[in-house]
Amino acid sequence: GENVEQHPSTLSVQEGDSAVIKCTYSDSASNYFPWYKQELGKRPQLIIDIRSNVGEKKDQRIAVTLNKTAKHFSLHITETQPEDSAVYFCAASRRGNTGKLIFGQGTTLQVKP
Amino acid sequence: DAGVIQSPRHEVTEMGQEVTLRCKPISGHNSLFWYRQTMMRGLELLIYFNNNVPIDDSGMPEDRFSAKMPNASFSTLKIQPSEPRDSAVYFCASSLGWSSYNSPLHFGNGTRLTVT
């Protein structure tokens, strides 16, 4: 089955710097890759997703890139702000697998003012 | 929309007791998922339903765990008997479509279970 590895497990940056979180997946048939943000004590919430027919997607300060050949995808946050501090999860699933999202272990991002 | 509603928010119980977690998905969503979150194992998919039918329960850890979805607006996850290692946050999530490819997951606020 699918296995998703996420790195780093913790990341500390200064406010205004960029942050990059990387994930690799094992199932070459996976074609949907969402990212979720979980603030302390709260539920995971979708922040951006990418499908295998595109290589990059941007939404304001957040971007995701996908390299299907290497089977890895990354989350990029620019101009980080203290409110970006949270745990970020990547996930992967294959079409037709009825929504079986497999999550990475999570990255705790700390943005220092 | 109220989103996915879970109850209770917190549950503290003694080892050996039965625990029932409840979930109301977003109206109109036809897929429902139960995840367990722990520090050691992260977010694990336990079971998911489509149109009230269990599709994949391969993540259910043991026979002590069972889940039902009697109708489109309600699901339960039951642990009987509970053990301390079941302590975790249990999330319910729902999505609009058959596949997450076109319909992201919406999570509830979770139930924090503590088994002493």
Mutation for A interface: B98, B101, B102, B106, most A CBs within 10 A: B101
Query: Is pLDDT above 70 for B1?
Result: no
Region of A96 on the Ramachandran plot (φ > 0 left; ψ -120 to 50 alpha; else beta): left
Compare CB distances from B56 to A51, A100, A106 and report the shortest one's residue: A100
Q: Is A112 on the interface with B (CB under 8 A)?
A: no
Q: Read off the pLDDT of residues A84-113 as tens digits, 9 standing for 90 and up.
A: 999 999 999 876 655 578 899 999 999 999
pLDDT at position B8 is: 97
Question: The tokens of B28 are what?
Answer: 């109109």
DSSP class per residue in A70-103: TTEEEEEE-S--GGG-EEEEEEEEETTSTT--EE
Q: Tell me the per-residue pLDDT of B39-92, one tens digit each, with 9 for 90 and over.
A: 888 999 999 998 999 988 999 988 999 999 999 999 999 999 999 999 999 999
Q: What is the pLDDT of residue A2?
A: 81
Q: Is B51 on the interface with A (CB under 8 A)?
A: no
- Quote the Cα angle for B76-B110-B94, to 5°: 65
pLDDT tens-place string over residues A46-67: 999 998 888 899 999 999 999 9
- Within a 10 A sphere around the Cβ of A56, how many other Cβ atoms? 12
Contact across the interface for A98 and B55, Cβ inside 8 Å: yes
Residue ranges of E strands in B51-102: 53-56, 65-71, 74-79, 88-95
